[in-house]
Structure 1
Amino acid sequence: MATAISGMDIYAPVFKVKRNGEEYPPKESILNIEIDEDLETPAMFRLSLNEEINIRTQQFRWLDDDKIKPGTEVEIFFGYATSKKQGMMKGRIKALTPVFQSTGNPTLSVEGYDLSHDLQKTAKKFTDTEVTYSTIAQDIAQANGLSAKVDPTEITHGKVERIKNEMDYDLLKRLSNEIGYEFFVRNKELYFREPKDNIKGDFTFEFRKNFINFNPRMTAASLVNEVHVTAWNVKDKESISESAKISDIKSSVGNPDFDNIIEESQGARVDVKIEGRLVRSQKEAKNLAKAELKRRNKGFIEGTLECIGDPMLRPGITVNIEKVGKRFSGVYYITKATHSVGDAGYKTTITVRRSIFMSMEDLLPQQDSHISGVVIAVVTSNQDPEGLGRIKINFPWRGEKDESYWARIASPMAGNERGMVFYPEVDDEVLVAFEHGGDQPALCYRSSLEWKG
């Protein structure tokens, strides 16, 4: 049973900052403290210190303190006097910003990030052949001194490589996006998991009871009913085709009539097609279609909610928001949370998202319609009526017979009335390049090596 937040039972907020296990700096010197957590970026903390100057030595207490410097690891706790303090973050100081004014005491702003920020600077070794994404996450966690909280993934990949200059953080973010997982670091634990966004929340907010304000927004501008994925299986020389419908991503806590809502808001059913992505099986294509359908519908209802501070409100959990009308009442997923303690007391502001499936952060990057690099095609004709040595081709990964116009063949030592040509036969595979990223083939390269197993 969901429990209501005791928003009006106000206790004295307390916080603590620790360095090497001891409280430092003392809370009496901290004017305010804030933590920003986001599923998409490393968590950040800020604290403002009331600076003091020693009249005799003319040294500043904090600005000249070797214990408060970039690289120092700290722990931050939030809570109330009558309850156990919650460990919010383990991180490192990254920046110091003093403020000197003509009157009053100077202040020192101390800023830093959680330990996931360190992963943006490291590229540790990991098992890269015949490996699952979850194994890679475990390897990187261990290599960086973190414990792994990893949900197992099913598909074994023959080879997984880094993109040029890709650090550990970017690698895990890319892999998690590909399969609809979440990746973040909390304290010294690395999470690589399925989003916990399809269950009723443990916290309940009600209008005029226990939140300060709630500002939701509903938009149907980019909603779609179905996503189709087509690709080409190089090994079997067969096209791959899969699709995902709203029923494939439906959640027990979402709107049961979401499919009709989309059709009514757009004036017709909206189907989109994804082609040319690298997938190796029907299952990968199905997962890609579902992830893309989630991404395109992720912004159905979004909003922010401000309430009396509660350290249990963290990104990656659901909350129930009730008595705000039929359209906006329901289960929401927290994607971002800001906890702040200062003169105004302890407040928490959360960014939430709601939809049929309780989608998480962006799952897949948007791609334009241009085709970059080279792609695989299959020869359909080599009988050029103009005798120019051109061929026609078909792109099987598009899942349809869309024969191209005549495309030239790249030949060695070619020139005016000289050179050599090796005609590919019908049904041979060729590599195709496109001029300026357009959708018409400009140049075909001789047949690629085909699988004969």
Structure 2
Amino acid sequence: MNSRSNFDTLAPEFALKINGAALPLAAAADLIGINVLDDVNTMGMFTFSLTCMDTAQMQVKWIDDDLFREGNPVEIEMGYRDNRRVLFSGEITGLEPSFPENGPPTLTVRGYDRRHRMMREHKTRSYINLKDSDIASQLAGAAGLKPQIDDTQVVLPYVLQHGQTDLEFLLSRARRIDHEVVVDGHSLIYRPRKISESATLTLRREIELLQFRPRMTTMGQVQELVVRGWNAKDKKEFVARAAVGDEPSLMSGKKSGAASVQPIFGASGSTVVRVPVQSQQEADQMAKQRFSEMALGYIKADGVCIGEPLMRAGVVVKIEGLGARFSGLYYVTATEQSFSIAKGYRTRFAVRRNAT
């Protein structure tokens, strides 16, 4: 069997910092496990659990400790003796003690990345003559985050945020143009989905890749997607089309799901989407986004690999050893990084692909 990697996978490590300082040795000795969840469609989250019984004094501990107060900043690293990376930076938002009938009490500390600050208030307000990137910059600044924003180019005469939190609104705007909303520490990143990027890492079956379950379906795959909108002010219809060949990348495959449908089942026609749009440029942008999103539904999969700190939501991973159809590049939509004293370091993930 080939070597798994050029670093020591037999020596998993973690580092947990609270308020900028390493977890005290007494707390580290009581640690049961750490989980970090990362998802392109929602906030990142962490939990870590400790036993919280002082057997010498026969009383609970840690629950009232200032170390685990809400709002305290948390940074989590996972990896190996010579390959450890920061996986999470956020803040404590809650405590969940458990007092079972049989067994010692435990304390679970939960928190989210700093996008949680954008989920506090439902708002209704309007934006005039701004690009989506301008709106993202404004919302990042209001949440105390540093904006790292890719220019979206299309100026929008009027955009309404109606009864939504800032994060709900920003995610809905991002989905319209195939963008991601990512937080890295204190920075909010607003960028196009990176399915055309080269692979961040490679997973080989029965080496790094421990489990993998892909599901391919042609249901929902169409050759063309049409966006129709109406400008009430100018009384003008906007029509935009995206079709086979408009995929931003085939992700090392030869034929997209949409392209596979016609020779098998005949002409699949088109899907018409009616949405509010304010310009032809915006309609064109949305048609390509909707078609790209539909195409990424061709193959969905979930799997487990050895703990891998480079495996993050929003990256592209190469998977080998699954035959010609299912080997290739996959876009990672979610990960769960877990470290426990009993089981070591594992990474669970969900991925998508638009071609075989």
Q: TM-score, normalised by structure 2?
A: 0.90
Superposition deviation, residue 281 in structure 1: 2.0
Work out the CA distance in 2 between the residues paired with 1:79 and 1:207: 20
| Match for residue 279 of structure 1 among 270, 273, 277 | 277
- Structure 2 gap segments, 5+ residues each: none
Residue 91, structure 1, aligned to residue 90, structure 2: yes
Work out the CA distance in 2 between the residues paired with 1:68 and 1:314: 26
Change (3 A) 1:273 1:104: closer
Residue 52, structure 1, aligned to residue 30, structure 2: no
Superposition deviation, residue 147 in structure 1: 1.4
- Residue equivalent to 1:82: 82
Change (3 A) 1:238 1:169: closer
| 1:340-392 superposed Cα distances (whole Å, 9 cap, x missing partner) | 111111011111100049xxxxxxxxxxxxxxxxxxxxxxxxxxxxxxxxxxx
Letter in 1 for 2:12: P
- Structure 1 gap segments, 5+ residues each: 358-453
Work out the CA distance in 2 between the residues paired with 1:18 and 1:264: 56
Which SS does the other structure have where 2:53 is aligned? coil
Work out the CA distance in 2 between the residues paired with 1:141 and 1:186: 12
RMSD between aligned alpha carbons? 2.5
Change (3 A) 1:5 1:250: farther
Q: How many residues align?
A: 350
Superposition deviation, residue 231 in structure 1: 2.8
| Match for residue 183 of structure 1 among 158, 181, 184 | 181
Letter in 1 for 2:254: P
For the 8 Å contact 1:50–1:106, the answer to whether it is kept is yes
For the 8 Å contact 2:4–2:207, the answer to whether it is kept is no
Superposition deviation, residue 248 in structure 1: 1.6
Structure with the greater alpha carbon radius of gyration: 1
Superposition deviation, residue 95 in structure 1: 2.7
Which SS does the other structure have where 2:348 is aligned? strand
Residue 322, structure 1, aligned to residue 320, structure 2: yes
Superposition deviation, residue 103 in structure 1: 5.0
Letter in 2 for 1:44: M
| 1:424-453 superposed Cα distances (whole Å, 9 cap, x missing partner) | xxxxxxxxxxxxxxxxxxxxxxxxxxxxxx
- Residue equivalent to 1:69: 69
| 1:375-432 superposed Cα distances (whole Å, 9 cap, x missing partner) | xxxxxxxxxxxxxxxxxxxxxxxxxxxxxxxxxxxxxxxxxxxxxxxxxxxxxxxxxx
Change (3 A) 1:288 1:44: same
Letter in 2 for 1:256: K
- Residue equivalent to 1:215: 213
Which SS does the other structure have where 1:138 is aligned? helix
For the 8 Å contact 1:124–1:143, the answer to whether it is kept is no
Q: TM-score, normalised by structure 1?
A: 0.72
For the 8 Å contact 1:321–1:332, the answer to whether it is kept is yes
Q: How does 1:21-420 map to 2 (within 5 A)?
A: 21-26=20-25, 27-53=28-54, 55-56=56-57, 59-83=59-83, 85-122=84-121, 128-164=127-163, 166-258=164-256, 259-275=258-274, 277-342=275-340, 343-356=342-355
Work out the CA distance in 2 between the residues paired with 1:12 and 1:229: 52
Letter in 1 for 2:63: L
Change (3 A) 1:126 1:192: farther
After superposing the two structures, state which structure 1 stretch, 340-349 or 239-248, moved more.
Answer: 239-248
Superposition deviation, residue 217 in structure 1: 0.9
Work out the CA distance in 1 between the residues paired with 2:6 and 2:353: 23
Identity score, percent: 32
The structure with the largest strand share of the pair is 2
Work out the CA distance in 2 between the residues paired with 1:303 and 1:173: 23
For the 8 Å contact 1:127–1:136, the answer to whether it is kept is no
Residue 13, structure 1, aligned to residue 6, structure 2: no
For the 8 Å contact 2:89–2:113, the answer to whether it is kept is yes
- Residue equivalent to 1:388: none
Change (3 A) 1:226 1:52: same
